[in-house]
Amino acid sequence: MQDGEVLAEWPADDASPEKLATSREKGLNRVLQILEFLHGNQRAIGIGELAKRLNAPRSTTYTLVRELVEAGLLEMEGDGNRVYFGKKLYLYGMAYMRGNDLLRRGRQEVDTLSRETGETSELCMLQSGRYTIIHSSPGARPFRISSATGLQIPLPWTASGRLLLAGLDRGRIEAMIAEDDLVLPDGRKLDIEDFIGDIGRARVAGYCVTSGLVDAYTKCLAAPVFSAPGKVEATMCLVVPIDTNEERTRELIALLRDRAARLSIGG
């Protein structure tokens, strides 16, 4: 920050209630933008670059970051100018995990499933219009399939995405899927009609299998977890080598559906 730079333009003490409310709302929105960006970025970033990426005033960004650091929600890294999540957010997350029955039991089921099958297992949910890995347990194979907790990717890339959208009508599905979401990492583009058709078939079958979407070496098996009859709250999935034979695949799907049913309330 340059000498003489104004940190923020806050309303005067005698500002109207409407102006104060608007200012607080803008400040809160900026904080949420910062947290959401850091989550998507998955690494520390310089405060100046953060302001640029958010298209936010530099002085306001410095002020908000400083306050979030003082509150323990963010921490400064490296040369003291790069910022990332703080320990307090981790503690909040752990408290949420302890208080959420589905997540607590889901973590246990995922870890058990991974031990029993030797395959990478995940608990996934819909978050901010993206497929999000809530908990992941690596398999016992000598190579590691990329599967990181907190990872968010477009819904059309996954078997879980097709199940998480299974209770929505076409209009809501189309509103949630951006054109870029249909473009796979290797450049292939999915057809929206095929994708919507997959959602319908997954809903009827009660599970979904996709092959070679995120990469050419794996396929994903997913089963729905219900929070109420017909309402998919989460999915349990297994990420396996793409050459896994049909008999093994059927065995894993049956086991996956059984474990997902344990977590479900209704079905």
Q: What is the pLDDT of residues 83-131, one digit of tens each?
A: 999 998 888 888 877 777 888 889 899 999 999 999 999 999 988 778 8
> pLDDT-derived band of residue 145, with 50, 70 and 90 as boundaries?
low
Residue 182 and residue 67 share a domain: no
Find the domain containing 182 and state its range. 100-263
> pLDDT-derived band of residue 162, with 50, 70 and 90 as boundaries?
very high
The pLDDT of residue 236 is 96
Q: Residues with Cβ < 8 Å from 121, sequence gap 6 or more?
A: 110, 111, 113, 114, 136, 137, 139, 236, 237, 238, 239
Angstrom distance (rounded) from CA 32 to CA 222: 31
117 touches 256 (CB < 8 A): no
Residue 234 and residue 110 share a domain: yes
Total domains present in the chain? 2
Residue 227 and residue 154 share a domain: yes
155 touches 177 (CB < 8 A): yes
CATH number at residue 42: 1.10.10.10
Q: What is the pLDDT of residues 49-67, one digit of tens each?
A: 999 999 988 888 989 999 9
The number of C-alpha atoms within 13 Å of 81 and in the hemisphere containing its C-beta is 8
The pLDDT of residue 37 is 87
Residue 192 and residue 61 share a domain: no
Tell me if 214 is assigned to some domain: yes
CB atoms within 10 A of CB 188: 10
> pLDDT-derived band of residue 18, with 50, 70 and 90 as boundaries?
low
Tell me if 4 is assigned to some domain: no
Tell me if 175 is assigned to some domain: yes
Q: Is the pLDDT of residue 266 over 60?
A: no
133-138 contact pairs (CB < 8 A, 24+):
134/103, 134/106, 134/234, 135/103, 135/106, 135/107, 135/110, 136/110, 137/110, 137/111, 137/113, 138/114
Phi, psi torsion values for 264, nearest 5 degrees: -75, 150
Structure tokens at 181: 């979401």
163 touches 231 (CB < 8 A): no
pLDDT over 90, % of the chain:
51
Tell me if 112 is assigned to some domain: yes
Residue 203 and residue 140 share a domain: yes
Structure tokens at 137: 């347990």
Structure tokens at 255: 């086991």
> pLDDT-derived band of residue 144, with 50, 70 and 90 as boundaries?
low
Phi, psi torsion values for 227, nearest 5 degrees: -95, -15
Tell me if 5 is assigned to some domain: no
Q: Rounded mean pLDDT of 195-208?
A: 95
Q: Side by side, which strands form the sheet with 120-127?
A: 152-153, 130-137, 120-127, 231-241, 218-228, 208-211
